[in-house]
Amino acid sequence: MSIDESQVTAAVAAVIDPELRRPLGELGMVGPVQVKRKNVGVEIALPVAHYPQVDELTSRVRVAVGRIAGVGEVTVGQGLMDEEPRARLRMLLRGEPVDGGAPEGGDHGHAHGAQLGHEEGRPNRFMLPRSKTRILGIASGKGGVGKSSVTVNLAVALARRGLVVGLLDADIWGFSVPRMLGVEGRLGGAASGERKIAPHVKAMGRGRLEVVSMGLLVDDEGEALMWRGLMLNRAVQHFLEDVEWGDLDYLLIDMPPGTGDVQMGLARMLPRTEMIIVTTPAVSAQKVAIRAATMARKSYIRIVGVVENMSSFRCEHGQEYPLFGQGGGDALAHDAGVPLLGRIPIESSVAAGGDTGEPVVLGTGPAAEAFEALATLVAEEAAPPVSMAGCSARMLDAAVAALDALDQVGTAER
């Protein structure tokens, strides 16, 4: 089977740079491609020497090209950008108009619009270069594992640490977040007067929650939404683009179970998303949940870790009973090559809190302690809030400064 160079170029162009979180095609980092029978050689054009995470970038390119039918050995080389693409990249990173087009966040063409996290010329604020929001998708292989309970309690626990947490209920069919948080009333217009949707805001200790759900847009909680494909993705797109979110530290996304349209759409619209996968101890649940991990890997989404929900029941005498089996969380974490972030015990107060709008993490007991421990691990180790003085922001400033310096050297030499 002959290998088309255009296929290789397209595969490399779609790879997300691990540092700048953009597709290489948009960044202008796709270099020459050579195909000799089954052997493929590609070059990535680096904007500066000693580029961060270049080994990870090279690995992503090798994997993407290796998936093309007929490809055998893949060789990835590195070069430096020429002057013109460097100038274009510098403008892109600064949010300046590129090639006479719209500023960053505007419409740079439909083909790359989806990769950049916007469509139809409307900006997705979470994909702007200096967005500090850390995006965590809470996923599961199937329904019934308590994914929404984990999402809500983790969001509340993070907010109580003094953080601003957005909670997007992307489970369009099975929305349950409003009831679990005790949030009522329809979403209204933003105070800015723009044609934006204002999220429901709920104070949580020193922090706050901003909540958006389809359940806050329908008149009846029991209404069935028989939507598919494009309509589902449009709904999520509106929640990202047309909501006047605050300056969020985290955006937690309660994803629908499985690996369907919404999951693929979010991976396309928000390539910065990281994922936490929820499973139960049952081996059958773990075997299904690994599919969510596989989807994340194929979409170049980092998996933060695994949460085992409904881990065991502890009686009043301290004896634990693994009612739903054992080992599912450990097995999933091992297969996915990620840490097990925590085990949430079976406790009636978890379900009761979800029914009454008082998440269990606000109270006491083993489940509350487990959720607090999970939030601490996420915030302090696994996925800490993004500091604009952190490595990504420094990389952005350093890249712009380095590109400026290269241009100055080139001008002096001329």
What is the residue extent of each domain of the chain?
Answer: 5-116, 133-382
CB-CB neighbours of 283 under 10 Å: 15
Under CATH, which architecture does the 5-116 domain have?
A: 2-Layer Sandwich (3.30)
Concatenate the DSSP letters of all residues of 349-372 into one string.
HHHHHHHHT--GGGS-SHHHHHHH
In the chain, helix, strand, coil percent, each to 5? Answer: 40, 20, 40
**CA distances from residue 270 to 70, 128, 237 in whole angstroms, order as listed:** 30, 11, 10
Side-chain-side CA neighbours of 168 within 13 Å: the count stands at: 30
> pLDDT tens track of the chain, all 414 residues?
678 888 888 888 888 888 776 788 888 899 999 998 889 999 999 988 888 888 889 998 998 898 888 888 999 999 998 888 888 887 777 666 555 444 443 333 333 333 333 334 455 678 666 678 999 999 998 888 999 999 999 999 999 999 999 999 988 767 889 899 998 877 776 554 556 788 999 999 889 999 998 877 766 555 555 455 556 667 778 888 888 999 999 999 998 887 666 677 777 778 778 999 999 999 888 888 898 888 888 777 889 999 999 998 887 777 788 887 888 999 999 998 899 999 999 999 999 999 999 999 999 999 999 999 999 999 999 999 876 444 444 555 556 565 655 555 545 555
SS3 labels along 50-104: CCCCHHHHHHHHHHHHHCCCCCCCEEEEEEECCHHHHHHHHHHHHCCCCCCCCCC
For the entire predicted model, the pTM comes to 0.68
Contact 234, 266 (CB under 8 A): no
Instruction: Name the fold adopted by 133-382.
Output: Rossmann fold (3.40.50)
